[in-house]
Structure 1
């Protein structure tokens, strides 16, 4: 995913974000996905190519990555 992919993108807040200040926002496109901190949107984002995003989701769903 490139910066141009994010031009005009509609970010959405995670449904798993808590009630405090631990929220993330997500945008998904044909070329991948990006994640950013919802309370500090100007600080940048993490971008994933489509294959990387699919691998990340599989690891989360498979229990390899867990939240605290």
Structure 2
């Protein structure tokens, strides 16, 4: 993949799931996909569920896991 901002058509095969921490029906929804079987193996995709044809952020799977672990353990001052 040659772009830093892939869109849905470029990530065929990705299975997107809404984050359990999304804001319900308030429009604050994030979707995540494990891209091991898609066009970017070993990556996680993150996108805005309100714009599924728009760009997705790609993050190495290990980095995404470390970030989520940090969120859950309170490592960030948010």
TM-score (normalised: structure 2): 0.66
Aligned residues: 65
Query: SS of 2:13's equivalent?
Result: coil
Q: TM-score, normalised by structure 1?
A: 0.73
State how far apart, in whole Å, the 2-side matches of 1:54 and 1:23 are.
19
Structure 1 gaps of 5+ residues are none
Alignment of 1:8-47 (within 5 A): 8-18=13-23, 19-30=25-36, 31-47=42-58
SS in 2 for 1:43: coil
Considering Cα pairs closer than 8 Å and 6+ residues apart, tell me whether 1 or 2 has the greater RCO: 2
Question: SS where residue 70 of structure 2 aligns?
Answer: helix
Q: CA deviation at 1:51?
A: 2.0
RMSD: 2.3
- Whether the 8 Å contact between 2:15 and 2:34 is mirrored in structure 1 is no
| Regions of 4+ moved over 3 Å | none
- Distance, in Å, in 2 between the alignment partners of 1:20 and 1:66 is 24
